[in-house]
A and B are shown apart, each in its own frame.
Chain A
Amino acid sequence: MLNPHPLPQPDTARPRLVVVGNGMAGIRAVEELLKFAPDLYDITVFGAEPHPNYNRILLSPVLAGEQTIDQIVLNPLSWYAEQGIDLRLGRKVTRIDRVRRVVQADDGSETPYDRVLLATGSKPFMLPVPGKDLQGVIAYRDIADTQAMIEAATQYKDAVVIGGGLLGLEAANGLMRRGMQVTVVHLMPWLMERQLDDVAGRLLQQSLEQRGLRFRLGAQTEQLLGDEAGRVRAVRFKDGSEAPAQLVVMAAGIRPNTDLALDAGLHCIYDGRGGVAVSDTLQSLTDPRIYAVGECAAHRGITYGLVAPLFEQGKVCATHLAHFGIGRYTGSQTSTKLKVTGIDLFSAGNFSGGAGCEEIVMSDPAGGVYKKLVIQDDKLVGACLYGDTVDGSWYFKLLREGRAIADIRDKLMFGESNIGDTGHEGITRAAAMADSDEVCGCNGVSKGTICKAIKDKGLFTLDEVRKHTKASASCGSCTGLVEQLLMFTAGGDYSKPPTKKAMCGCTDASHHDAREAIREHHLLSIDAVYKHLGWRTPNGCASCRPAINYYLISTWPKEAKDDPQSRFINERSHANIQKDGTYSVIPRMWGGETTADELRRIANAVDKYKIRTVKVTGGQRIDLLGVKKEDLPAVWKDIGMPSGHAYAKALRTVKTCVGSEWCRFGTQDSTQMGKDLERALWRMYAPHKVKLAVSGCPRNCAESGIKDVGVIGVESGWEIYVGGNGGIKTEVAQFLCKLKTPLEVLEYSGAFLQLYREEGWYLERTVHYIGRVGLDYVKKRILEDAAGRLALWERLQFALDGEPDPWFEFSKAQVDLRQFQALPAVNTNELVGAK
């Protein structure tokens, strides 16, 4: 059948994308689309405001006089021109004709489309009271409103803000900063009731009152009264009282802007906040040519108003528009932060508790600090913080991950830094830091540098800050601080919300997905994994390929082939690369014991190969630093000791004290136990490095308490501790069990390590593995299931049986010896052609 309404002929061959709405959600989706498919569409963007895309969240700092409008522009007009986008500013779209596939605007124009992206955001809810149309009664939504408020503050004295939520308080604070007397009117008994519980709400009120704001809580607005000139002069309440106001700001809520969608016959929902009903690919349920993102879209019945979910939607929508079809949006968890300078407040999840919930509360009203954590079924489900919010992002992370918290419950209230944090002791509040203060100790990045990059480059996510500044890109322990700076500088909470984290940019698969696929489908090569899971890149990247290689060889020992080109240089050259490109060599000394003969050979090698530095390591070994790569095989051979694997994600050392053989306090032969463990476990590759220690008595001279597996001899046997770590965060190992014999120590330690090898994610230390699965789970597998424990121990022995020493068995260990020789470029006799 012929189409009775022929399509308008496009003047180019490219499909047309019409974006309705020039705000943060729509333009973010366009940016993502341009990244995936720069030339796929002819793009037209309609914006009702006469401004390019700006950061709406930062209107509050603009109102408060802390930033200017120019500073909050995200995409200058030149950006649209460079991208070839047809930008129609100050034009309102009036109708979408889905039959003829054209978009009509208020200037009478018709723009044909192949796809439409609705990003119309929301509109303010105006209280339907008499007088709402008087002059001086405005909403708080865009630049024009903000300018009207700034303007009013220069002429008038009294303002009333209706609505004591996030937006209302930010407006009130801004107007007060501009010199107005401000009264906040709120229907509910306490402020920000959707984000705060009553205690925190009252603390907030007190602190805002101290700054000069006035409040009318539980007050119902009846009428707005005007003067002869038609301008508002006062607000009258139900009880008959009045408050003077020459400016009234309505901040009593927002509604998704669905006018266009309804008119076009798209299915919209009305539950909750409402919005255009969209699928997991952000297509409207009614018409797959029409997408909707941001505050106007309702996904699975939920409308999001915060930036992180909107950006996530934008990304998924862009992949679909780009015909990738890989992404699905499955919803987000959100958290809240008030942008009133000097007030720290954070909430997330179910902070009000209820049936089946437990609460941990810390309240210090005099000190202005209040924290409430809500726990359900051994998981953190909500947090409400006032006055000290430094751990907000940590709580939010725990909440999203749904991690069991029994093991950290007693420390939970005191925050992440209380679990032992080295490197930036003493800094707790990002806002209080000076610009010159260092945030990232690894890369030497100051607060000022980070804030400048966020502002100048328009950064929104932790990942972007890491890429641009390197802050928190190394050890990651300042992540919480950097997230706080993002909140303060860019507004909102920009930490990435998904609970399932993709391994890297090459894939949407998580580490868990990859491990599962390899095990379930018996995958034996990196290519097979990439194919099975639909990797986007042909051979991965430096982040995912080593991980997949490890998963293959740990899941299918003797079957999957190790790929040296998928290993980091240290594991390819079996030595540690140093900053000048030389290497270090650390031979294995069983249990930390050596002999005169070995020391003589080491000394001779040091002289012969002119090795500059000889150093004793923390793990009781000898480190030879400054070895040239071409000398490595000869140094190994001359020293004649096994590889120490000090360069590998593998068993490093078993540190020991002298034990009962010499020590007058020793109760057990710790040195022999250490040697036995090291001989049983060496050549064991793992998700990350693995360090052991054995002490012969509870004085614990081998520091067993901060090792992946720590063994402590006591009069009646051995105590086993797991998950210790002496690194960035000093983590004290947790008691696993007490054993009688050295053979049991081998079996239990080996079984635990095999469990970690089979289930740990690449680059996850034992402490983080245990944190993820819970110590109870480990106990169940190792202590309560004797057959399972034995099976684990046997699998480890099978995997290690016959494994080569890479310093001597080159071909068996797949050491490519060509890497130790440079190719000459001097043979000019072999001239092969001149042209």
Chain B
Amino acid sequence: MSNWIRICRLEDIPALGSRRVQREQGAPVALFRAADDHVFALLDRCPHKGGPLSQGIVFGHSVACPLHNWSIGLADGCAQAPDVGCTTKFSVRVAQGTVMLDADELRSLALHDAKVAA
């Protein structure tokens, strides 16, 4: 059972780029748009030192963290080996060009991580 809420249109996210989604509570969620228009959502914190992943360079289905260049998989939120660690991933739905996130997940997942300032 999912409780989808509208976040933005697909074109509101730059291709090979990202947008930040501010939640009522908890660190923001980063929305990524790959070149093939796949949209992914991760907690906007690198598992390494909490860097804002939304500010990284998107390539393939990965993003390079802007702080120390860890590669994080967009589909699973996990660092590319040999680095280890995962950030929280969120479900995304895109229908008729509208990007949606699950309200229950936004309200419940990863609320107590230290806040990312960006």
Contacts and interface: CB of A to CB of B under 8 A. Distances in A.
Interface of A: 457, 467-468, 537-542, 545-546, 564-569, 572-573, 577, 579-583, 628-629, 816, 818-819, 822-828, 830-835
Contacts of B19: 818-819, 822-823
A818 B55 CA distance: 12
Contact of A541 (B29, B64, B106): B64
A565 B17 contact: yes
A566 to B, nearest CB: 7
B2 A835 contact: yes
A825 B106 contact: yes
Interface string B84-117: 0000000000010010110100100000000011
Given A542-B59, A545-B59, A580 B117 contact: yes
B30 to A, nearest CB: 10
A830 B5 contact: yes
12 contacts: A457-B82, A541-B59, A577-B118, A582-B117, A818-B12, A822-B19, A822-B21, A825-B5, A825-B106, A826-B23, A827-B6, A835-B1
Nearest to B50: A581
A563 to B, nearest CB: 8
Contacts of A629: 118
Nearest to A542: B64
B43 interface: no
B29 A825 contact: yes
A545 B63 CA distance: 13
Contact of A468 (B21, B22, B67, B82): B82
A323 to B, nearest CB: 21
Contact of A824 (B12, B22, B49, B103): B22
Nearest to A824: B22
A628 B2 contact: no
B70 to A, nearest CB: 10
Contacts of A542: 56-57, 59, 64, 69, 71
Contacts of B1: 834-835
Given A542-B56, A565-B57, A816-B14, A832 B117 contact: no
Nearest to A816: B14
Contact of A834 (B3, B28, B51): B3
Closest 6 CB pairs of A and B: A581-B118, A542-B64, A822-B22, A542-B57, A569-B55, A569-B66
Given A542-B69, A581-B116, A825 B16 contact: no
Contacts of A564: 14
Nearest to B20: A822
A6 to B, nearest CB: 45
B57 A568 contact: yes
A546 B82 CA distance: 24
Which of B22, B35, B59, B62 has the largest count of A CB atoms less than 10 A from its CB?
Answer: B59
Contacts of A541: 57, 59-60, 62, 64, 71
Nearest to B118: A581
B118 A546 contact: no
B75 interface: no
Interface in B2-34: 2-8, 12, 14-17, 19-24, 28-29, 31
A431 B106 CA distance: 53
Given A581-B116, A830-B6, A835-B2, A825 B66 contact: no
Contacts, number: 125
A818 B9 CA distance: 13
B55 to A, nearest CB: 4
A827 B55 CA distance: 24
Contacts of A835: 1-2
Given A573-B55, A582-B117, A832-B4, A825 B69 contact: no
Contacts of B2: 834-835
Contacts of B103: 828, 831
A827 B5 contact: yes
A545 B57 contact: yes
Contacts of A816: 14, 17
Contact of A825 (B24, B51, B62): B24
A539 B35 contact: yes
Contacts of A581: 50-52, 55, 116-118
Contacts of B28: 822
B39 interface: no
A567 B62 CA distance: 15
A834 B2 CA distance: 6
A579 to B, nearest CB: 7
Contacts of A832: 4-6, 95, 98, 100
Contact of B23 (A566, A628, A825): A825
A823 B60 contact: no
B22 A825 contact: yes
A831 B59 CA distance: 32
A816 B4 CA distance: 27
Contact of B67 (A457, A537, A577, A582): A577
Given A542-B64, A819-B17, A826-B22, 13 more contacts: A540-B59, A542-B71, A568-B66, A569-B56, A573-B55, A577-B66, A579-B67, A581-B55, A824-B21, A830-B5, A832-B5, A832-B6, A834-B4
A579 B49 contact: yes
Given A542-B69, A629-B118, A828-B5, A565 B15 contact: yes
B58 interface: yes
A822 B58 CA distance: 18
Contacts of A569: 55-57, 66
Interface in B65-79: 66-67, 69, 71
A823 B20 contact: yes
A816 B20 CA distance: 13
A831 B36 CA distance: 27
Contacts of A834: 1-4
Which of B2, B31, B71, B82 has the largest count of A CB atoms less than 10 A from its CB?
Answer: B82
A826 B23 CA distance: 7
B59 A537 contact: yes
A834 B3 CA distance: 5
A818 B14 contact: yes
Contacts of A828: 5, 103
Contact of A628 (B8, B35, B58, B117): B117
A816 B16 CA distance: 13
Nearest to B69: A542
Nearest to A459: B82
A577 to B, nearest CB: 5
Which of B14, B50, B57, B69 has the largest count of A CB atoms less than 10 A from its CB?
Answer: B57
A823 B31 contact: yes
Contacts of B117: 580-582, 628
Contacts of B82: 457, 467-468
Contacts of B98: 832
A457 B82 CA distance: 10
B7 A825 contact: yes
B56 A565 contact: no
Nearest to B19: A823
Nearest to B54: A819
A568 B8 CA distance: 25
B11 to A, nearest CB: 11
B60 to A, nearest CB: 6
Contacts of B24: 825-826
Contact of A823 (B8, B52, B69): B8
Nearest to B116: A581
A561 to B, nearest CB: 14
Contacts of A580: 116-117
A784 B103 CA distance: 69
A573 to B, nearest CB: 7
Nearest to A540: B59
A414 to B, nearest CB: 34
A582 B35 CA distance: 27
A827 B100 CA distance: 12
A629 B54 CA distance: 12
Contacts of B101: 825
Given A539-B35, A816-B17, A823 B56 contact: no
A419 B108 CA distance: 57
